[in-house]
Structure 1
Amino acid sequence: MSSFLYSLGRAMHRTRKTVIGLWILLLAMLGAGALLFSQDMDNSISIPGTESQQALDSLSATFPQVSGSSAQIIVVAPEGETVTDADIQEPVEAAVDTLSDIDHVDSATSPFDDTVSGSINDDEDAALIQVQLDGSTFEIPESTKTALQDAVADLKTELPDGAQASLGGELFSQEMPTISIVEGLGLIVALVVLILTFGSFLAAGMPLITAIVAVGASMSLILGATAFTSITSTTPMLALMLGLAVGIDYALFIISRHRDQLRDGLDVRESIARSVATAGSAVVFAGLTVIIALLGLGVAGIPFLTVMGVAAALGVGIAVIVSLTLLPALLAVSGERLRPKQKKRTLDDGTATARPNRFFLGWVRAVTKRPLVTIIGVVAVLGAASVPALGLKLALPDAGGLPEDNSARQTYDLVSEHFGEGYNGMLIVTGPIITSTDPLGLMEDLGDEIAELDGVESVPLATPNETADTGIVQVVPEHGPDSDETKALVHEIRSMHDYFLDEYDVDLAVTGFTAVGIDVSAKLGQALLPFGLLVVGLSLVLLTMVFRSIAVPIKATLGYLLSVGASFGAVTLVFGDGVFAEALGVARTGPVISFLPIILMGVLFGLAMDYEVFLVSRIREDYVHGKSARRAIETGFTSSAKVVTAAGVIMIAVFAAFVPSEDVNIKPIALGLAVGVFVDAFIVRMTLVPAVLALLGDKAWWMPKWLDRVLPSFDVEGEGLARELELAEWPAPDARLAVAADDLSLRVKGEEILAPTHVRIAPGTVHAVRGDSARAVTALLLAITGHLPNATGILKVNGLVLPSRASAVRRSAGYISLASSGQPITDVRAALAEKPRLLAIDGMDHVTEPAQRERLIATLSKAHSAHNAPTIVLGCGAASDLDIADDETRVDDLNSRSLVSEASA
């Protein structure tokens, strides 16, 4: 990875103007596409397969009059009057007629209609006009909404002074979020932090530019995708929030490494390449963890949540690509202007070194002085902060969560005041009644049965459809739509399914907006555990790959769980218990959006891994380069703490800027992420992590050898690249060798298979490897073709350093053994047909039949004389009379046993 990114960084420097131009062109094209193809957002939330959704889908075919969205108008009489007074009843009746004539209005029911009950309250000072529409909330055009608002405005003018008429209901229960100047405050804070971090306006502006480009591209793709799929309004807001945060942070890490290297005297081109290779590797890993966690939202099996995760992951992925392509091009254009002034101190031995930050040095020494005390304190504090999360309640948003000056919120409050909270969460009980000989009587009996249940306020309507094959019962609960009592009522009605089936031969189901919300919350709750296990398991595996340690991943995962718990606790305190609710503009306390926990867990996982990688990788880098465990903690921490602090502050600022948003979906998510990042960056990663590493000492970096061999390596610190740069001019500055090796050796289970061997093979030649030990010959051939990563010594094949570039070597090199081949000529020709740059042919001594031997030599000679001839390395015994080789290497006689499989292993 680091080698590939190094090459990419050099390429971005070389083609900087082209890269910048291509990004500008791409952004313009994507923006134009979004303007041409974007459609309205769809905030309808459903889960295919749930009882409520199946019943709703069935009603759309059998009883379309009640399957669509609805609106509600409440009329409140002036003090001392009733709604049955003529000066109120007559305007209301006229308004009902007007409403009935509006496009997409299926019916408007007068509160004075004899066929319905419950539309006038007991005090007769308030009445409800029910408006049924012929489509879902987001299928109804704005023209219909405007016509409804105009009709209610006309009604207000006709009512006597002191009377009220307010429009709301399901159709108006959600508002589309908009971007305001408040969200821009996060960028201003980010700019200030970047200026303080870099001390340069030019360097500070680059992360903002790249983040805005990434967000612009991702938002254009998301908006364009509305032409092909349903996307909720929360989706682009989440993608925007995440894209800005990670886009700025990823650029920050790369620029910080670049300026450090410029300060150390590296030239611009080399510094860009190394920054992209090292910090860029960490950015790729961090971005992948966020992307995988977001894509993991699909575990819930909920379409809208899957789309949300894919869109947010797209935003993060584009931020990574921009950081690895556009950013290096901008750094190249800026050139020497980014080189900071020298601020170094001279040590006693005369060498210069960067001056450590006194604050961070003092901090890390303080938290590691008594590590056990620090660990206990952090766990106790975060454990206590997580306790409120036990009271977290979930539901889908309704009009009760809108701002108080919103008409739908005012309607919601008036209905609750005059009729009771249950009128805002009406349930629909429905089922087929095709077998009934008395559909009207059947529905009346069902309505009476349901009306007697605990928690039912009233049953305003129980009727069959026009064809008498489907019936509905409208049920008004005693409590609000997001209350535990209403949830219990839904479960009780469903528990009586078999009773209604036996007694009335009706297969009843509960649906409606409230029931859909209850089902969505339940489904999300069930998905939380498997998603959590996926995230935690992924965390352990990925971090083990990165840090080659057992303790570090376990510590990182436990720290992540503490961060999540504290984040949930803060959300519960504010949105559930009302702590600081007024200051944060929370319209109503109670349950929060159902998908908040799974979103928070996924996003915080990725962000937590960001800080873990950027902080601990520096500590590990110093440790593997020879420093003691305690010293590595101090130097690694002070080297990265400033950047991690800046990154944390920027993310907190970006997320906190969305807390004042009026979108009831994004508001708690933004608060949870802001708190979660604060806890994870400053309490977990910068306090708990150094303390745990100090307590464990060298044991923190222990890993079983068998596990180290099994797991792939993700070279975040760029150790492989450092090795390649170190050997860039080895064995000679202008040497062009197919194979170069010094002290190449191999031990298997303590036994020396290949003694230290020196090899030089020119490209395009035929080279013989001779030895009395077939195992040693085989080991050497396997090593130079990239199949023995555990071989030691220095080895370069076609300019690539092994073992870090073993996979690239294997793609251009081939190995075959003729020891047990029945058709050696065919096997060699097949291997040559793949056009390898290097071909190792083992077991040449096993071709003993003269005719075969001559044909084999002829085949090799032909390949040797061809244009762009491959380098051919032949393995044979020490006494072999093979005479076609241009040069040869001899290996020591170590063991007479010929066990190729052991050497391969």
Structure 2
Amino acid sequence: MNEPGPLGRIARLAYRNRGRTLLLWLAALMLAAGLSAAFGGDFAADYSAPGSDSKAAQELLQERFPAQSGEVVEVVVRADGGVEAARADVGALLAELATVPHVASVGDPFTTPGGISPDGGTLVAQLRLDVTNANDMPHAQSERLLEIADAAERPGLDVALGGQAIAVAEQGEIGSEGIGLLAAAVILLLTFGSVVAAGLPILTAVAGLAVSSSLTGLALLAVDAPDWSTALATMMGIGIGIDYVLLMVTRFREWRAAGLDPEAATVATLDTAGRAVMVAGSTVVVSMLGLFAMGLSFMRGAAVVTILGVFVVMAASVTLFPALLGYLGRHVDRLRLPLGRRREAEVAVGGHIEPSRGWLAWSRLVQRHRVVAALAGVAILLALAAPFLGVRYGFPDAGNSREETSTRQAYDLQAEGFGPGANGPLVLAAELSRPGDTAALDGLRAAVAATPGVAMVTPPQLNPVGDTAVLTVVPATGPQDERTEDLVHRLRDETIPAATQDSGAVVRVGGVTAASIDSTENIARRLPLLIAGVVALSMVLLLASFRSVAVAAKAAAMNLLSVAAAYGVVAYVLEGGWAGRLIGIDTETPLPSFVPVLMFAVLFGLSMDYEVFLVSRMREAWNRTRDNSRAITEGLAGTGRVVTAAAAIMIAVFAAFVPSPDVVLKVIGVGMAAAIFVDATVVRMLLVPSVMHLLGRANWWMPRWLGRILPELHVEGQPERHLPTPPDPEHSVELAGAVAR
């Protein structure tokens, strides 16, 4: 037996020192947890677009008008007999709300301009919080506000609370890791039929997850990351951790069936399947690094937290997993479940396992009908992607929340009493050239009020110094209406420049609605950079891994198709039809622009995982036989079961997002689960093999000059050097015949 590669040597070291390896992982967990508890940072996220008008307005208010920069909770009250008749009840309600911690001030709706609706039946009072980010408001205090509002209701008096801080408190848990793990356990048991074999991937993934989640607090010292980034990293860690070890457990069992002892089988597994795991993990990291091209701090933070989780999982796969095999390798098929008669593996020439007859039959069917299969695969993906052509970008607001939530009720009450624009007011932050220049402000207010699409403009409020003023503009249309976006651009491009040209005042258009518009436009400009960068880097990695131009180009094209199909599924669900109602989306909902970006980075990397799993086995067969058709057939048949199980696990993990009451998280869960399903079925099982059959030997071609430049990773490893003894010629003929059959 020849000396193994670096991963094989690491596996041998971990196997022989399994006790020390487990203790090192335990020590790493305790150290990470201790350091994070002592020095860990806090979550923070800035969703505004850098350099935008809304960002400048936000910074100006924070600097010169801090009283206007805190988060706001809107108290909406509707009284059947008119709000004036309920003045005492409203006063008592506001007084009690003012006692809740983090409530800095309470506005008086009876004296505030625009506080009472034209019909006198509805009022809005603003609670100004002392936090500038809704995520910084403790859930317990938000829930206390909701309890007070509920207690104040009576027949004829409706009370609801709106605002981002309330929405965060009502959105619930992002996802259930327990559901994902339970589903993964069931799938692994059905795949292996053995409790020990099924438990190895879960043990490895959970251990890696425990360490990476503990390290997140330390990562927050260097980057600002949103609180949902931990859920994304957790789901990714569970999914890919189980998938990677699933692949290696499958290969370990093959090597054991080939006659290797547990240690040799462990070394061989890491020297073959372990290479594929490293390349697959690297593609995920490359994809997540693409988020840095977006120039958005919250995306950089989410990328760092997720990449950290991927690195820890990769480390666990090549160190902790071999150590666990040191204890459980001899018993990998113990504790078998009564799942019926299972086919015993047959060892073929070269030490690989003869695939199941079902997968062989499928792969040969694709080979015979490769043209039809290729056309059908492309047609399915394009059909799924078609709804994305009509997608409407924007940020879902309280109007898209569930009807039973307080934020949705407040939204509906405001729209009914004040008009749809009341739910998406614009904030004008005016920096005056001369303190107290009320003439400039009066002219500005008059010009804005006369602009088509403006329902109301409040009188300006000056800061104590008098050099900054705030005006609130209520559009005539809702925050998700295209006409509101047109109004924002009209104010910036026409109305405000004309109204301020003589006064020297600098006026910025901000607020949540304007910030959403700016963020969408900013992401749309940068998205091509993300796509181009991730695709280019992934192609270089695949070129070095498989020494094939066709494989790299095909993988990039098909991954783009599968991502487009996922986008189409998301767009269809957001239409609010029967598909949307299945997951709790009842009304037409816009797609937040950052969701496609995040989905692309995650899904492109995960799609490459299955590509690596599949093509590495094909290349292994190609190197052994130099027969393209046989290599494709054996690769597809040999990985079909693994890819199917891995995809089922990943789908279950991402589907844990769907029950969340937050519409954005539902969309992420649906999109990612749909993409994995499409990629593992239509793309990997149909489109990839059919196209490779059409390309023939060109699959494995690369120019010599390019081959000299790129390193050779040998992702498929060299299985033949791990065979214990050369196979008996007569036995080889017999087994080769079994494979042919």
Pair in the same fold by TM > 0.5: yes
Q: Following the alignment from structure 1 to structure 2, what is the Cα–Cα distance between the partners of residues 263 and 141?
A: 56
Alignment partner of 1:127 is 2:128: no
Aligned to 2:489, which of 472, 488, 491?
Answer: 491
Give the distance between the partners of 1:268 and 1:141, measured in 2 at CA. Answer: 52
Q: Which residue of 2 aligns with 1:432?
A: 431
Q: State whether residues 177 and 233 of structure 1, in contact with CA within 8 Å, keep that contact through their aligned partners in structure 2.
A: no
Q: Which residue of 1 aligns with 2:314?
A: 320
Counterpart of 1:644? 643
Q: What's 1:232 paired with?
A: 226
Structure 1 CA distance for aligned equivalents of residues 221 and 244 of structure 2: 31
Aligned residue type for 1:467: V
Specify whether residues 2 and 168 from structure 1 end up closer, same or farther in structure 2 by C-alpha distance, changes over 3 A only: farther
Contact 2:219 2:304 in 1 (8 A): no
Q: 1:305 aligns with which of 287, 299, 302?
A: 299
Residue 109 of structure 2 aligns to a residue whose secondary structure is coil
CA positional deviation for 1:270: 0.8
Shift of 1:180: 8.3
Q: Give the 3 Å change call, closer, same or farther, for CA 29–77 of structure 1 in structure 2.
A: same
Match of 1:5 among 4, 7, 18: 7
Shift of residue 123, structure 1, vs aligned partner: 2.1
1:294: Cα distance to partner? 0.6
**1:43-122 superposed matches below 5 A:** 44-78=46-80, 81-85=81-85, 88-96=86-94, 99=97, 104-113=102-111, 116-122=112-118
1:438, distance to aligned residue in structure 2 (A): 4.3
Matches within 5 A, 1:471-870: 471-496=469-494, 497-586=496-585, 588-719=587-718
How far has the Cα of 1:176 moved from its partner?
Answer: 7.8
CA 1:369–1:161: 2 relative to 1, 3 Å: same
Q: CA deviation at 1:333?
A: 0.6
The one of 230, 234, 258 aligned to 1:264:
258
Q: CA deviation at 1:199?
A: 2.0
Task: Specify whether residues 589 and 31 from structure 1 end up closer, same or farther in structure 2 by C-alpha distance, changes over 3 A only.
Answer: farther
Residues 675 and 366 (structure 1), Cα distance of their counterparts in 2 relative to 1, 3 Å cut: same
2-structure distance, mates of 1:628, 1:168: 66
1:275 alignment partner, SS class = helix
CA distance in 1, matches of 2:350, 2:451: 85
CA contact (8 A) 2:617 2:638 kept: yes
* Residues 133-160 of structure 1 deviation map (CA, whole Å, 9 limit, x = unaligned): 343134445676466446545644xxx6
Amino acid at match of 2:8: Y
Matched, 1:214 2:208: yes
> Deviations for 1:856-880, whole angstroms, at most 9, x for unmatched residues?
xxxxxxxxxxxxxxxxxxxxxxxxx
SS state at 2:585 partner: coil
In structure 2, the partner of 1:163 is 157
2:242 paired with 1:243: no
Structure-2 separation of matches of 1:345 and 1:308: 45
- Partners in 1 of 2:559 and 2:688 — Cα distance? 11
Q: Which residue of 2 aligns with 1:360?
A: 359
SS of the equivalent of 2:506 reads: coil
CA shift in 2, pair 1:74/1:339, >3 Å: closer
Corresponding letter in the other structure for 1:219: S
SS of the aligned residue for 2:580 comes to coil
The answer as to whether partners of 1:197 and 1:646 remain within 8 angstroms in 2 is: yes
Identical aligned residues as a percent? 37
Q: Residue 142 and residue 568 in structure 1: after superposition, are their counterparts in 2 closer, same or farther (change >3 A)?
A: closer
How has the CA–CA distance of structure 1 residues 686 and 503 changed in structure 2, closer, same or farther, with 3 Å as cutoff? same
By how many angstroms is 1:727 displaced? Answer: 13
Taking a change above 3 Å as real, the CA distance of residues 147 and 620 of structure 1, as seen in their structure-2 partners, is closer
Q: Distance in 2 between matches of 1:319 and 1:492?
A: 50
**Greater displacement, 480-489 / 531-540:** 480-489
Question: Does the residue aligned with 2:355 lie in a helix, a strand or coil?
Answer: coil
1:356-378 alpha-carbon deviations (Å, 9 max, x no partner): 31221121112221212211111
Give the helix-richer structure, 1 or 2: 2
CA distance in 1, matches of 2:345, 2:594: 50
Query: What is the deviation of 1:722?
Result: 5.0
- Which deviations, in whole Å up to 9, do the C-alpha atoms of 1:616-651 show, x marking residues without a partner? 111111112124111111122211111111111111
Task: Classify the secondary structure of the residue corresponding to 2:470.
Answer: strand
Q: Which amino acid aligns with 1:77?
A: A
| Structure 2 CA distance for partners of 1:276 and 1:457, relative to 1, 3 Å | same
* Partner of residue 279, structure 2: 285
- Judging changes above 3 Å, is the alpha-carbon distance between structure 1 residues 406 and 31 closer, same or farther for their aligned structure 2 residues? farther
CA distance in 1, matches of 2:210, 2:579: 34
Per-residue Cα deviation, 1:652-676 (whole angstroms, up to 9, x for no partner): 1111122112243332112111111
- The one-letter amino acid of 1:186's match is G
Q: Are 1:329 and 2:331 counterparts?
A: no
Q: What letter corresponds to residue 163 of structure 1 in structure 2? A: L
The gaps in structure 1 that reach 5 residues or longer are 729-905
1:377 aligns with 2:389: no
Instruction: Give, in angstroms, the shift of residue 483 of structure 1.
Output: 2.7
Q: Are the aligned partners of 2:360 and 2:633 in contact in 1 as well (CA < 8 Å)?
A: yes
Answer with 1 or 2: which has the greater Rg. 1
Residue pair 2:175, 2:660 contacting (<8 A) in 1 also:
no
Q: Distance in 1 between matches of 2:350 and 2:665?
A: 53
Letter aligned with residue 122 of structure 1 = P
Indicate how the Cα distance of structure 1 residues 342 and 374 shifts in structure 2: closer, same or farther if over 3 A, else same: closer
Larger strand percent: 1
CA distance in structure 1 between the aligned counterparts of 2:691 and 2:316, rounded to whole angstroms: 35
Is contact 2:576-2:585 (8 Å) kept?
A: no
> Residues 705 and 167 from structure 1, CA distance in 2 versus in 1: closer, same or farther, beyond 3 angstroms?
same
The verdict on how the C-alpha distance between 1:28 and 1:663 changes in structure 2, with shifts beyond 3 A counting, is farther
The residue aligned with 1:30 is: 32
Partner of 1:391: 390
CA RMSD of aligned residues (A): 2.8
How far apart in 2 are the matches of 1:263 and 1:531?
Answer: 44
Indicate the SS of the match to 1:592. coil
The letter for the 1-side match of 2:11 is G
> Do 2:388 and 2:571's aligned partners in 1 also have CA atoms closer than 8 Å?
yes
Instruction: Give the deviation of 1:83 after TM superposition.
Output: 1.4
Is the CA contact (8 Å cut-off) linking 1:82 and 1:125 kept in structure 2?
Answer: yes
Deviation (angstroms), 1:412:
1.9
Q: Give how far 1:566 is off.
A: 0.5
TM-superposed CA distance for 1:291, in Å, is: 0.8
Quickly say closer, same or farther: Cα 1:180–1:379, change in 2 above 3 A.
closer
What is the CA–CA distance in structure 2 between the aligned matches of 1:554 and 1:442, rounded to whole Å?
60
Instruction: Name the structure, 1 or 2, with higher relative contact order (CA <8 Å, separation 6+).
Output: 2
- Assess if the C-alpha contact under 8 Å between 1:234 and 1:665 holds in 2: no
Residues in 1 aligned to 2:273 and 2:507: alpha-carbon distance in whole angstroms:
60
Secondary structure, counterpart of 1:508 in structure 2: strand
Normalised by the length of structure 1, the TM-score is 0.75
Contact residue 477 and residue 484 of structure 2 kept, 8 A:
yes
CA offsets per residue over residues 492-540 of structure 1, 9 Å max, x none?
A: 1111243233144321111112222222222111111110011221222
Higher deviation after alignment, 677-686 or 161-170: 161-170
Residues 105 and 131 in structure 1, CA contact (< 8 A), matched pair in contact too: yes
Q: Secondary structure at the match of 1:131?
A: strand
Corresponding letter in the other structure for 1:422: G
Shift of 1:227: 6.1
Is the Cα–Cα contact under 8 Å of residues 64 and 134 in structure 1 kept in the other structure? no
3-state DSSP class of the match of 1:505?
Answer: coil
Contact residue 435 and residue 465 of structure 2 kept, 8 A: no
- Whether contact under 8 Å (1:68, 1:132) holds in the other structure is yes
The separation in 2 between residues aligned to 1:723 and 1:336, in whole angstroms, is 22
Q: Deviations over 1:305-333 (max 9, x none)?
A: 10001111111111111111111111111
Q: CA separation in 1, counterparts of 2:721 and 2:140?
A: 67
Gaps in structure 2 of 5+ consecutive residues: 335-341, 727-741
Q: In structure 2, give the amino acid aligned to 1:135.
A: V
Paired amino acid for 1:119? G
What is the CA deviation profile of residues 118-145 of structure 1, one whole-angstrom value per residue up to 9, with x for unaligned ones? 2222222111112233431344456764
After superposition, the Cα gap between the structure-2 partners of 1:342 and 1:577, relative to the gap in structure 1 and judged at 3 Å, is closer
